[in-house]
Amino acid sequence: MSAAIRAEGHTVRIPVDIRGEAGWVHAATSVDFTACRGRVHAVVGESGCGKTTLATAILGMLPAGTRAGGHLEYVDPNGRATALTGEGRAAAARTAGLRGRQIGYVPQSAATYLTPVRRVGAQLRETLRELRGQATAEELLDRVHLDPAALEAFPHELSGGMLQRAALAFALAGDPDVLVADEPISGLDPHLAQLTLGLLRSIADSGTAVVLITHDLQALALSGTADELSVMYAGRIIETGPAVRILTAPAERYTADLLAALPANGLHPMPGLPPELTNLPPDYTYADRLRAAAELEADHVR
């Protein structure tokens, strides 16, 4: 079990401008994270807690002007590490060389990533040529349980679930060592969600390191897809460990509250709202949110 993605003290600050006021989005703070070959490492948390920024950083696609601290690197099977963050042309060339080939990506809205005016097959074959993939388009569709007829279809002729699986086929075209899937089951029917998670599991079983970003704890708990689980809150990983342990016996109050909000556990709303990551106080934790929610509650009673 070798590490393919390794983060230590990974910190990201993204500049923003809201109505002429400059600020920094605290998208990641002191993140330690490891994704190993043959394993599915799920990253969960509420919307807006920094999950997608972690995916973006692994792909080397953080916006210009971003300040990154600590380490985030890709480690090839021979143990050679390549930094995934950093500014300038050299860094951009470094990560561009990895994208698609060593690090594959399944985007959140698969449909919007395909050109609407060209057939799926033409686009998939172009991707294979570009990445010098060894598989054929038919083999890739077979791996994601799509009928070869989909090659002749235009994107709008496929359903959301089929497009999601097509996106998986595109991500596999370069036979990547790492696969980052950002909310791949969002908006899918439960059985389609389970099918997609099963595919990610089999991709990991074939030796790929899978990073699965999702807010759908329910599907995750049902499927048993994940080996490791990291819980993100306000740009930090607050709990990490074996998925089964965290889903059944979370150590952190935040994780417990997140699980209690699931329909299966009674839909208990979490107190308060997640924080804005813009200009977040450095020592902010979930306890601050609980305190603010309790004060608001007391005001209402008064």
Partner 1 sequence: MSGELSAVKVGFSYGGAEVLRNVSLSIGAGSQVGLAGPSGSGKTTLARVLAGLIPPSAGHVACNGAPVRRGDGSIAMLFQSPRRSCSPRMTLRAVIAEGIAGVRGPRRRREIDAGVRQFAARVQLTGDLLDRYPHEVSDGQLQRACLARALAARPDYLICDEATAMLDAATTAAVVRIISGEVAARSLGVLALSHDRELLEAWCGAIKHLP
User: What is the CB neighbour count within 10 angstroms for residue 16?
Assistant: 15
Our CB check for partner 1 shows the closer of 26 and 39 to be 26
One residue of 61, 91, 256, 261 binding partner 1 per CB under 8 A: 261
Q: Which of these ranges, 27-35, 96-104, 181-189, 197-205, lies near partner 1 under the rule CB under 8 A?
A: 181-189
Identify residues 214-233 at the interface with partner 1 (CB under 8 A): 215-218
One residue of 229, 232, 258, 280 binding partner 1 per CB under 8 A: 258
Could you please report the per-residue DSSP string of 208-220? -EEEEE-S-HHHH
Q: Which residues in 55-155 belong to E strands, given as ranges?
A: 67-75, 81-83, 103-106
267 binds partner 1 (CB under 8 A): yes
Our CB check for partner 1 shows the closer of 83 and 270 to be 270
H or E element in which residue 198 lies: helix 190-205
CB of 130 to partner 1, least distance (A): 32
One residue of 9, 18, 149, 281 binding partner 1 per CB under 8 A: 18
The Cα–Cα gap between 202 and 19 comes to 47
SS3 71: strand
CB of 169 to partner 1, least distance (A): 21
Residue 68 and residue 10 in contact, taking contact as beta carbons nearer than 8 Å? yes
Identify residues 52-81 at the interface with partner 1 (CB under 8 A): none
The Cα–Cα gap between 119 and 182 comes to 24
User: Which residues, 6 or more positions from 271, have their beta carbon under 8 angstroms from its beta carbon?
Assistant: 257, 289, 290, 293, 294
186 binds partner 1 (CB under 8 A): yes
- Going by the DSSP 8-state scheme, the letter that residue 135 receives in this structure is S
Q: Which of these ranges, 65-73, 84-92, 243-251, 259-267, lies near partner 1 under the rule CB under 8 A?
A: 259-267
CB of 268 to partner 1, least distance (A): 6
CB of 269 to partner 1, least distance (A): 4
Q: Which of these ranges, 41-49, 91-99, 171-179, 201-209, lies near partner 1 under the rule CB under 8 A?
A: 41-49
One residue of 160, 175, 241, 290 binding partner 1 per CB under 8 A: 160
Q: Which of these ranges, 27-35, 43-51, 66-74, 114-122, lies near partner 1 under the rule CB under 8 A?
A: 43-51
One residue of 93, 264, 287, 294 binding partner 1 per CB under 8 A: 264
Our CB check for partner 1 shows the closer of 82 and 109 to be 109
* 208 backbone φψ class: left, alpha, beta (φ>0; ψ -120 to 50): beta
The Cα–Cα gap between 198 and 109 comes to 19
Closest by alpha carbon to 28, among 69, 86, 74, 61?
69
Closest by alpha carbon to 209, among 88, 86, 104?
104
List contacts with partner 1 (CB under 8 A).
18, 46-48, 159-160, 186-187, 189-190, 215-218, 257-258, 261-264, 266-270, 272-274
